[in-house]
Amino acid sequence: MTVNPMLASLPRPIRVPLVVLLLALNVVAHVVPLFALTLLKLLLPLAAFRRACSHGLVAIAESWIGVNNALFGLFTRIRWQVEGLDGLRRDRSYLVLCNHQSWVDIPVLQKLFNRRIPFLRFFLKQQLVWVPLLGPAWWALDFPFMKRYSRETLAKHPELRGRDREATRRACTKFRHLPVSVMNFVEGTRFTPAKHDAQASPYRHLLRPRAGGLAFVLDAMGDALHAILDVTIVYADGPCSMADLVAGRIRDIRLHVCERPVEPSLRGDYENDAAFRERFQAWVNALWQAKDAQVGRMLASAAGPARGD
């Protein structure tokens, strides 16, 4: 979308509250019909009607994202450089993998893929279900919620072991019967220099990948997945936050998308098959080495405009 100079050039004390107000109104405008349709889906348990409701819920969510995209297009001067979107389809199921740097990654991925591939669903922490309005909306849209337990908790309560994997299996089983895009931040957490140093990460720009969860999703989804979308995000202005996005301080976002096949060798019993686990970890590490090099190339080619107005 072409930036409207009058809106993007508004003084920040006017522009930022206006953007926040419009984003909040957009949430309310879409969450209310979303909840109403969810209630109908619960009250009328007819299979055909529920399928129609599910399609309606996704249409509402895509409209919600579309309006958000339009608002950021009107109120910011972001320069987008995107490679690799050719050939994507809405009738195929994808596993989307991406490096993770900021909460901004989520609206960026939503802008990139909205109405290009099936609706993106993220694995979310269980606590996020309590976020006002958004948490119940994510639940209604069948986002899988994961409850993670610390090592100390598992040591005291071994019966909890495997609960998160079972939640993943239930979610993936549901997704096998419709086109879906399952999002996975393989690093498991947002990149920071402190986390990078604490991990002694062998990658310059990335944290260590977590292979186990990825292997479990691939195995649970089986042949329902058509392809892997390997996405690399680079913010040429440096580390950023949602506040930077709303305030218009992000000026240059670069994305590279590589469609990869789901080879039969990527599916197996990661937990109990040591040979498969070693092969899969080697595949993930090679993928992450290539992604680290891709980030370096994208940073090197970035113009690097200064942040701020």
What CATH number did the domain enclosing 201 receive? 3.40.1130
CA distance 224 to 184: 16
Span 259-301, pLDDT tens digits: 999 999 999 988 889 999 999 999 999 999 999 999 999 999 8
Q: Is 250 in contact with 240 (CB distance < 8 Å)?
A: yes
**Residue 170 and residue 292 share a domain:** yes
Domain boundary among 56, 77, 98: 77
For residue 132, the 8-state DSSP code is: T
Q: What is the pLDDT of residue 170?
A: 73
**Whether residue 54 is found in the same domain as residue 85:** no
Q: Are residues 128 and 258 in the same domain?
A: yes
Buried b or exposed e, range 56-86, using 16+ CB within 10 angstroms? bbbebbbbbbbbbbebbbbbbebeeeeebee
Percent of the chain at pLDDT above 70?
A: 90
pLDDT surpasses 90 at 158: no
Asked, for residue 306, whether it belongs to a domain, the answer is no
Give the pLDDT mean for 120-137: 78
Contact criterion met (CB below 8 Å) for 33 and 60: yes
The pLDDT assigned to 308 comes to 44
pLDDT tens for each residue of 167-197:
667 767 777 778 889 999 999 899 999 999 9
For residue 166, the model assigns a pLDDT of: 73
- What domain count does the chain have? 2
* DSSP symbols for 220-286: HHGGG--EEEEEEEEETT-S--HHHHHHT---EEEEEEEEE---GGG-S-TTT-HHHHHHHHHHHHH
Domain span at residue 289 reads 79-301
Q: Is residue 119's pLDDT more than 70?
A: yes
Assess whether 222 and 125 both reside in one domain.
yes
Distances (CA, A) of 2 to 17, 84, 103, 256: 22, 21, 24, 21
Specify whether the CB–CB gap between 298 and 234 falls below 8 A: yes
Q: How confident is the model at residue 89 (pLDDT cuts 50, 70, 90)?
A: very high
Q: Do 212 and 269 fall within a single domain?
A: yes
Contact call for residues 142 and 53 (beta carbons, < 8 A): no
Q: Does residue 309 sit within a domain?
A: no
Identify the pLDDT of residue 41: 83
DSSP 85-104: -TT--TTS-EEEEE----TT
| Closest to 137 in 3D by CA, of 50, 226, 42, 33 | 33
Is the domain of 133 the same as that of 226?
Answer: yes
Residue 309: the pLDDT is 44
Q: How many helices (H) and strands (E) does the chain have?
A: 11, 8
Query: Cα(100)–Cα(212) distance, rounded to whole angstroms?
Result: 17
Distance from chain centroid for Cα 272: 29
Cα separations (Å) of 253 from 7, 22, 140, 149, 166? 20, 23, 31, 34, 36
Nearest-angstrom CA–CA distance, 164 and 125: 10
Same domain, 36 and 165: no
Separation between Cα atoms, residue 123 and residue 218, nearest integer Å: 14
Mean pLDDT confidence for 163-167: 69
Predicted TM-score (pTM) of this structure: 0.86
How many CB atoms sit inside 10 A of residue 237's CB? 19
